[in-house]
């Protein structure tokens, strides 16, 4: 084998080696992912297992605390016994030289040991406990397979310190502990079995309202958008959830209905100009080619209608942009008086049939979108012109208060009935007379003006007396 061949061979092995090492890990990952997808633990299972886990932990805690408490109590008892025996035993052994064996009077006592103040053993009971652990500081010992509790205390006799250790056999206590522990554990496990059996039934009942809600929610479409969840059937948090869901559906339904109306209004508005266009093109087709009068009339009408349609489409686009929150305001600082005078001048130029008076004594600096504000002022002035009979007056005023710069447009026109005042800002709303009249627009002007003014954190106020006139006041926050 040549060197090159050897190298490529080693490279191949190395390449495959990493593949071989990586592939089982990848395989394992895949299996785990698939398993997770397949075993979709139900919420019922999760609730039951969580409660079962908490229960078992509590059971363990109860067992530990009970056993520790019982053992503590027994040791306390042994300490008390030791406390009562010890002084007597020391006295008898140190002074009367009596054997310690005489004091094994309690069946729990396995042995007694007496030490001097240097911890040297002076005497002890019988030889059978020779192999005891001499460490008097260790409390529990195992001697001859028996667990021993070593009670030790010091006593001063004749100015000498003695240490006495009494070895209590606690094997019986340990057996008692075992029995107690066993019984609690047994009872606890039976409880756990009951919990495991009943848990899924209870939690299923608990999540049933959620399931019902899901089923209802699944069936809601545009056709049955008025369907609501049964709030009465739910309780507590689920009731709140059902109510919140229903309120959300109310809002969606309201929006949906508004959209439907909007679409039908738009279609309605477009139907007339399209019918007019069709009428004139038909007329042109039949006679217009030869008759110049018809030709001119048709062209003029078509021009008017297309302008009208263009105007409508522009307005609709504006509203749609606002609804989609994509309407942008290009704000700048400017004096409102200049803008109002400009619009008034323009209106005066094209309208000679009304008396238009502009009184702008007060001026204020505002931070706003100049073109949009101009558009809004124009809407109010154009309406005043539209709905004021020839010879009537229109007054335009600029004022200010602490917060707002106020533009007032007053007319001596038709006025608005009180009951209709709220509706005039609705999309496509027009008073009966303005529907009939030619000058009536599409009923979108005030909606647009409202969007603009509210977009500048302003407000609009209207005062109107039917058949006498109206005052529209626009409030825009000012800088100074
Ligand atoms: P339009 O484009 O039809 O003017 P608007 O939204 O601007 O639509 O106004 C809605 C309706 O409010 C008008 O059709 C009209 O009936 C009424 N309106 C608005 N301004 C005045 C006014 N200055 N005087 C009387 N009626 C008015």
pLDDT per residue over 11-54, tens digit each?
777 777 767 677 778 888 888 887 766 666 678 888 888 999 99
Instruction: Determine the pLDDT at residue 138.
Output: 67
Instruction: Determine the pLDDT at residue 31.
Output: 81
CA of residue 467 relative to chain centroid, distance = 53
Instruction: Flag the least confident range among 76-90, 125-139, 417-431, 465-479.
Output: 125-139
Report the atom number in ligand 1 closest to the C-alpha of 429.
10
**Average pLDDT score over the chain:** 88
- Of 443, 447, 451, 467, the residue with max ligand 1 atoms within 8 A of its CB, to mutate for a pocket test, comes to 443
- CB of 387 shorter than 6 A to ligand 1: yes
- CB of 434 shorter than 6 A to ligand 1: yes
Q: Which residue has the higher pLDDT, 284 or 135?
A: 284
What percentage of the chain exceeds 90 in pLDDT? 50
List Cβ neighbours of 63 (8 Å cut-off, separation of 6 or more).
181, 184, 185, 188
For residue 424, is pLDDT > 90? yes
Task: Note the pTM of the prediction, 2 decimals.
Answer: 0.60
Instruction: Determine the pLDDT at residue 440.
Output: 62
Instruction: Determine the pLDDT at residue 279.
Output: 92
Q: Which residue has the higher pLDDT, 231 or 476?
A: 476
For residue 411, is pLDDT > 80? yes
Average pLDDT over residues 445-452: 96
Contact of 270 with 280, CB cutoff 8 Å: no
For residue 435, is pLDDT > 70? no
Tokens (6 digits) for 145: 């397979």
Instruction: Determine the pLDDT at residue 135.
Output: 60
For residue 96, is pLDDT > 90? no
For residue 181, is pLDDT > 60? yes
For residue 2, is pLDDT > 70? no
Helix, strand or coil, per DSSP, at residue 420: helix
- Of 418, 441, 446, the residue with max ligand 1 atoms within 8 A of its CB, to mutate for a pocket test, comes to 446
Q: Which residue has the higher pLDDT, 460 or 128?
A: 460
Q: Which residue, chain included where needed, has tokens 């911890």?
A: 119
Residue-wise pLDDT for 258-271, tens only, equals 889 889 989 988 88
- Rounded distance from Cα 418 to ligand 1 centre (Å): 14
Q: How many whole angstroms separate alpha carbon 25 and alpha carbon 35?
A: 15
Q: How many whole angstroms separate alpha carbon 96 and alpha carbon 90?
A: 9
- CB of 440 shorter than 6 A to ligand 1: yes
For residue 129, is pLDDT > 60? no
For residue 120, is pLDDT > 90? no
For residue 436, is pLDDT > 80? no
Supply φ then ψ for residue 407, to 5 degrees: -115, 125
Average pLDDT over residues 72-76: 94
Residue owning the nearest CA to atom 7 of ligand 1: 445
Average pLDDT over residues 348-360: 94
Instruction: Determine the pLDDT at residue 103.
Output: 86
Confidence category of residue 450, pLDDT binned at 50, 70, 90: very high
Supply φ then ψ for residue 57, to 5 degrees: -65, -40
Helix, strand or coil, per DSSP, at residue 1: coil
Q: How many whole angstroms separate alpha carbon 374 and alpha carbon 448?
A: 12
- Of 434, 462, 473, the residue with max ligand 1 atoms within 8 A of its CB, to mutate for a pocket test, comes to 434
| β-sheet bridge partners, residue 358 | 396
Average pLDDT over residues 177-187: 96
| β-sheet bridge partners, residue 121 | 115
Q: How many whole angstroms separate alpha carbon 253 and alpha carbon 97?
A: 103
Instruction: Flag the least confident range among 99-103, 138-142, 169-173.
Output: 138-142
Cα torsion at 79, 82, 87, 88 (round to 10°)? Answer: 150
- How would you label 188-211 residue by residue, b for 16+ Cβ within 10 Å and e otherwise? beeeeeebeeebbeebeeebebee
Instruction: Determine the pLDDT at residue 1.
Output: 57
For residue 128, is pLDDT > 70? no
For residue 130, is pLDDT > 60? no
For residue 244, is pLDDT > 60? yes
């Amino acid at each position: 084998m040549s060197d090159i061949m050897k190298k490529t061979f080693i490279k191949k092995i190395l390449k495959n080696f990493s593949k071989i090492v990586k592939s089982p890990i990848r395989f394992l990952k895949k299996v785990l992912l698939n398993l997770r997808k397949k075993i979709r633990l139900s919420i019922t299972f999760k609730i039951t297992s969580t409660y079962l886990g908490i229960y078992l932990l509590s059971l363990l805690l109860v067992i530990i605390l009970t056993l520790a408490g019982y053992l503590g109590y027994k040791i306390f008892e042994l300490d008390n016994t030791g406390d009562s025996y010890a002084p007597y035993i020391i006295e008898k052994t140190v002074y009367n030289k009596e054997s310690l064996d005489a004091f094994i009077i309690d069946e729990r006592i396995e042995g007694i040991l007496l030490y001097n103040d240097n911890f040297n053993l002076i005497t002890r009971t019988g030889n059978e406990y020779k192999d005891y652990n001499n460490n008097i500081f260790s409390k529990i010992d195992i001697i001859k397979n028996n667990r021993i509790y070593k009670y030790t205390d010091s006593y001063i006799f004749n100015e000498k310190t003695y240490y006495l250790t009494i070895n209590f056999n606690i094997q019986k206590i340990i057996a008692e502990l075992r029995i107690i522990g066993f019984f609690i554990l047994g009872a606890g496990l039976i409880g756990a079995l009951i919990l495991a059996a009943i848990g899924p039934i209870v939690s299923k009942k608990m999540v049933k309202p959620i399931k019902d809600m899901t089923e209802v929610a699944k069936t809601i479409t545009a056709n049955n958008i008025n369907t609501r969840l049964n709030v009465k059937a739910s309780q507590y948090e689920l009731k709140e959830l059902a109510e919140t869901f229903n309120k959300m559906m109310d809002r969606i339904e309201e929006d949906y209905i508004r959209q439907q109306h909007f679409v039908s209004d738009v279609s309605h508005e477009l139907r007339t100009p399209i019918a007019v266009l069709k009428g004139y093109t038909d007329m042109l087709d039949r006679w217009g080619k030869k008759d110049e009068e018809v030709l001119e009339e048709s062209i003029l009408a078509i021009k008017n209608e297309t302008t009208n349609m263009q105007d409508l489409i522009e307005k609709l686009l504006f509203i749609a942009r606002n609804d989609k929150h994509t309407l942008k305001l290009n704000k700048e600082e400017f004096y409102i008086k200049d803008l109002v005078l400009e619009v008034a001048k323009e209106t005066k130029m094209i309208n000679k049939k009304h008396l238009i008076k502009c009184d702008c004594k007060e001026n204020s600096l505002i931070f706003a979108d100049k073109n949009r504000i101009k558009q809004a002022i124009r809407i109010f002035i154009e309406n005043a012109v539209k709905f004021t009979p020839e010879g009537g007056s229109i007054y335009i005023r600029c004022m200010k208060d602490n917060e707002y710069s106020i533009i007032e447009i007053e007319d001596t026109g038709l006025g608005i009935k009180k009951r209709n005042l709220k509706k005039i800002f609705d999309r496509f709303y027009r008073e009966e007379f303005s529907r009939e009249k030619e000058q009536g627009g599409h009923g979108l002007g005030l909606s647009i003006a409202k969007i603009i003014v509210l977009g500048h954190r302003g407000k609009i106020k209207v005062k109107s007396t039917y058949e006498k006139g109206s005052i529209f006041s626009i409030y825009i926050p000012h800088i100074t």
